[in-house]
Amino acid sequence: MIIVLGTIEVDVADRQRYLEEKVPQVESTLGEPGCLDYCFAADGRDPSGVRLVERWASMADLEAHVARLRAAPAPDDLPVPSRMVAIDLFEAEPAQAPWA
């Protein structure tokens, strides 16, 4: 499994609009082959922060997703300005939860 964790920064006043703009992308991505989870969420500690969480069945699935994003036409309206602060990629194996 491939896990992507990202931190995105937007203007505090625009965060909700940014999250709303991402809904169609999230819905579309969740239907892509190998997508196990795809989510943009407000950071509870930082009013300008947005967290990105992705889980993919394989690196090939993630690579195909990135290729689709890059090939997509530009949006009709200007999107909310954002800045990727950090992004981490992990290859993971499911493990037994300590509370199970």
With CA atoms as reference, report the closest residue to 80 among 13, 12, 18. 18
pLDDT digits (tens, 9 = 90+) for 69-98: 999 998 888 899 999 999 999 999 989 999
Beta carbons of 88 and 2 less than 8 angstroms apart: no
> Structural domains in the chain?
2-91 (3.30.70.100)
CA distance linking residue 78 with residue 97, whole number of Å: 43
pLDDT along the chain (100 residues), means of 10: 98 97 96 98 98 98 96 88 96 92
What is the structure's pLDDT at 26?
97
